A and B are shown apart, each in its own frame.
Chain A
Amino acid sequence: MAPTLPVEQLDSVPVGRSATVVSVACDRATARRLMELGLLPGTRVDVVRVAPMGCPLELRVRDSALSIRRVEAARVAVQLLPEAAPVRPAVSPSVGHAAR
């Protein structure tokens, strides 16, 4: 992915698009929970749908469907992937080693 892609918030990713997580800046307990569920910097996330009342969101992360509220999604920074990216790649892009 090009390093020039702008960073935005996960809650502004349009439904049907995918993005790569840049950082998870929720409160510690929530961030830890999300990361332990596999939502880590470097992970690919698909925004599947928004609940009919506008909140929460349904995400696809590492082969499972996760739902989080908008407030939390707003604290997850992502880079939008180009639209052509295949839905769900064979393996999500490598996490890379954490403490760079």
Chain B
Amino acid sequence: MSQPRVLLAGNPNAGKTTLFNRLTGSSARVGNYPGVTVECSAGTLRCDDTLSVTLMDLPGTYSLSARSPEERVAVDAMFASGEAAPAAIVVVVDALALTRNLYLALQIMETGLPVIIALNMMDAARDAGLAIDSDLLSAGLGVPVIPISATRREGLPELRAQLARTLHAGGAAGEVPVVRYPGAVEAAVATVTPAIAAFKPDASPQAARALALWALLSLGDDELVAIPSALRDAAASARARAEESATDLDQAVIAARYAFLEEVVESAVTRPSAQRRTFTDKLDALLLHRVSGFVVFATVMYVVFEALFSWSEPMVGVIEGGVVSAQDMVNAALPPGALRELLKDGVIAGVGNVIVFVPQIAMLFLMLGFLEDSGYLARVAFLIDRVMARVGLHGKAFVPLLSGFACAVPAVMATRTIESRRDRIATMLALPLMSCSARLPVYVLVIATIFSGEERVAGVFSPGALVLFTMYLVSTLATLGAAAVLRRTVLKGPRPALVLELPPYRRPEWRTLLRSTWERVRSFLVDAGTIILAISIVLWALLTYPKSEEVHARYEAQRSELASVADESERASRLEQLDAAEAGEQIRKSAAGRVGLAIEPVLQPLGFDWRIGVGIIGAFAAREVFVSTLATVFGISAGDEDATPVREALANASHTDGRKLMTPLAGLSLMLFFVFACQCMSTIAVVKRESGSWKWPMLMFGYMTTLAYVVSLAVYQLGSAFGWGLG
């Protein structure tokens, strides 16, 4: 049975998410609109005993006019045909900014679709001394207006009852508000209306008129696709005609709508005689102040960072422990063989690779949701926009970039708060250059290998700390540089203006926060998780197969010799050494080992050999895996907690011609390679998920790998030419 569809529309921060959750309870599911990466939640709403509807959440927007495919989602949902055609539209309106919120409602009413206005935030309006006569408002607009407070659940039964009445009335279109447009606008509408048939053939005459107005406002400088050329031509010629008579059509249409709304609002709203300083005004005086504002800003950002970096650590530990015990269980339950290895090292380890991100994602989205719903995120953008604008990014890119220091995966997901697609993708493609926490074990290993720890520069600084600091500095500069370059090249476009609303401060609701956080986690597990799992298994297979029977037979022979060793623990440790040594020889024969050997000539100019190459291939699963892969390559039994044996092996390793492998110069080159290279399948998977196509992650992988190669090459070659660091 298919239920009637009802759409929920509204300005950002009008309380749409809160109302949606209240009305649909636990039935909500999140999906994507076809073709675009715009999310849409849908859930079941029971109006009365006989009537249930599917409530669909439209993206929060100030108007229906559209320049990009994402902004067009609302219009397409309203004019969907057949099953998907909406039976009614509920517009959530913030009572505290009534006229501006009604602008969107008016645009929707003009289509002739049945509209119900949910006048939200009535509690806050009362507190502010604002009296709104909803009957007068309803009479003036010609649609039902139901005063509600979504957080306090006030007016929700009335809203349900009204929806039932509207739908039982057969969805008969309400009166269409009579906005008096000037003659030039009417002439333009008359020119464009006939062309609407080619765009939305099912549109009623009323809807065609509304769509003609939509086309006049939207077309011209847009990036919309699948707009019939007849419609484009008609809109262009109407605009040209209006220009001849010196009429700005955009302004004429918008001003006529506001004039209509002002008259209605004026009749229905009584304002307090004296304006009080609101809570938001007082708090902003503190939070946007040039001193206290930055103190709070720095504190908040520090908390976000700390939570990502350290608070999630215990949970990550639990997950890693769980993976190990699951592997032990499989080990005990199955006989040795290919199946056991596949389950243990391929599947379970791969699942571990996915869920290990969950604590950080949950942590970041809880905090981001809090910042966004409270209204502070907009203030963050306000405070820091000056800096971000320099590299062509939006002020809202700051939190994702900062999160990139912890992990690119949640950080990429956090770019959703940025509305403009270009800004969002530029941020997403640049932020994996931020030095994430998974790079740290690599830096630490290399630094410990090339420096003794006792040396000091200028008496106080240890060279290791200086090098580490330099890596973070280089990565930050590279991120900002990459963003600037991306915005001027592949993502070039009109610099979108910052038009940012600073909403009143409001108390976020835990339920809403937890729910949207869970949605983020779920969509990560489902969409990006499957890709990560698949790549994990492929990588494991590459590092494991083919196996050499000859090598295996040789080690088996040595193992059987051990049977004569009497001492139990002595035998166990000898066996372990043999296992590690065999793994070291086997990895050389594996596909990854062969690739490592094959690309050695390409790596040698950077100061690497095939073993480092195999480590880099393994690190694609996650950068810190570099350390354990190297352990395997060197035939060391992998001690996860202690990297000392790897460090010693690395320090003693030499090239085939006897030169030392890890000179300080080669170490520097290796660290820089890790700063720049996109050595992380999870980042790639999540960028695919968030950008909606493989094109962007491929571009990211391409530019980062090229950058890594060129920088390491330049450093190693210049360094060698000047003769430093060869010792």
Contacts and interface: CB of A to CB of B under 8 A. Distances in A.
B383 A51 contact: yes
A69 B389 contact: yes
Contacts of A96: 255, 259
Contacts of A3: none
Given A38-B103, A62-B97, A98-B256, A53 B386 contact: yes
Contacts of B247: 99
Given A32-B250, A95-B258, A64 B289 contact: no
A26 B497 contact: yes
Contact of A64 (B100, B250, B252): B100
Contacts of B253: 98
B497 A91 contact: no
Contact of B389 (A55, A65, A88, A91): A55
Pick from B96, B254, B262, B288 the residue with the most CB of A within 10 Å.
Answer: B254
Interface in A17-73: 24, 26-38, 40-42, 49, 51-56, 58, 62-69, 71-72
Contacts of A4: none
A28 B497 contact: no
Contacts of B293: 52
Q: Which 6 A-B pairs have the closest CB atoms?
A: A98-B255, A52-B290, A53-B386, A99-B182, A65-B502, A30-B497
B254 A32 contact: yes
B62 interface: yes
A87 interface: yes
- Interface residues on chain B, size class: 35 or more
B275 interface: yes
B382 A28 contact: no
Interface in B613-647: none
Nearest to B242: A99
A40 to B, nearest CB: 5
A80 B56 CA distance: 45
A99 to B, nearest CB: 4
19 contacts: A27-B497, A28-B250, A29-B67, A29-B496, A32-B65, A35-B255, A37-B62, A38-B258, A51-B382, A52-B383, A53-B387, A63-B100, A64-B501, A65-B502, A67-B378, A67-B502, A72-B499, A98-B248, A98-B255
B594 to A, nearest CB: 54
B499 to A, nearest CB: 5
Given A52-B293, A66-B499, 11 more contacts: A27-B221, A29-B67, A29-B494, A41-B255, A49-B288, A51-B382, A55-B389, A62-B100, A68-B498, A98-B252, A99-B182
Contacts of A35: 250-251, 254-255
B386 A51 contact: yes
B648 interface: no
A97 B259 contact: yes
A24 B99 contact: no
A39 to B, nearest CB: 9
A71 B451 CA distance: 51
A68 B389 CA distance: 12
Contacts of B98: 63
B220 A28 contact: yes
A66 B500 contact: yes
Interface in B23-79: 62-63, 65, 67
Interface string B227-262: 000000000000000000001101111111011001
Nearest to A66: B501
Contacts of B252: 98-99
A93 to B, nearest CB: 10
A90 interface: yes
A97 B257 CA distance: 10
Nearest to B61: A36
A91 B65 contact: no
A38 to B, nearest CB: 5
Which label, helix, strand, loop or mixed, suits the secondary structure of the A interface?
loop
B294 interface: yes
B386 A99 contact: no
B497 A40 contact: no
Contacts of A66: 499-502
Contact of A52 (B217, B294, B499): B294
B386 A67 contact: no
A80 B284 CA distance: 25
Pick from A27, A63, A90, A92 the residue with the most CB of B within 10 Å.
Answer: A63
Contact of B182 (A32, A41, A97): A97
B383 A36 contact: no
A89 to B, nearest CB: 9
A41 B254 CA distance: 11
A99 B284 CA distance: 38
B184 interface: yes
Contacts of B501: 37, 64-67
B99 A38 contact: yes
Given A56-B500, A98-B256, A29 B221 contact: yes
B133 interface: no
B387 A28 contact: no
A66 B183 CA distance: 32
A34 B258 CA distance: 13
B659 interface: no
A97 B383 contact: no
Given A58-B382, A63-B99, A97-B259, A68 B499 contact: yes
A87 B185 contact: no
A49 B383 CA distance: 12
A64 B65 CA distance: 20
Contacts of B284: 49
B289 A52 contact: yes
Interface in B490-509: 494, 496-504
A40 B185 CA distance: 17
B266 A91 contact: yes
A51 B385 contact: yes
B697 to A, nearest CB: 28
Contacts of B258: 38, 40, 95
Contacts of B152: none
Contacts of A41: 251, 255
Nearest to B280: A65
A72 B711 CA distance: 39
B271 interface: yes
A89 B512 CA distance: 36
A98 B182 contact: yes
A3 B382 CA distance: 35
Contacts of A65: 280, 501-504
A42 B254 CA distance: 13
B97 A56 contact: no
Contacts of A28: 220-221, 250
B385 A55 contact: yes
A49 B386 CA distance: 15
B103 to A, nearest CB: 6
A41 B65 CA distance: 20
Contact of A31 (B67, B96, B250): B250
A72 B96 CA distance: 26
Contacts of B65: 32, 36
B412 to A, nearest CB: 26
B288 A32 contact: no
Nearest to A39: B499
A97 B99 contact: no
B100 A34 contact: no
B386 A54 contact: yes
Nearest to B184: A99
Contacts of B290: 52
A51 B275 CA distance: 24
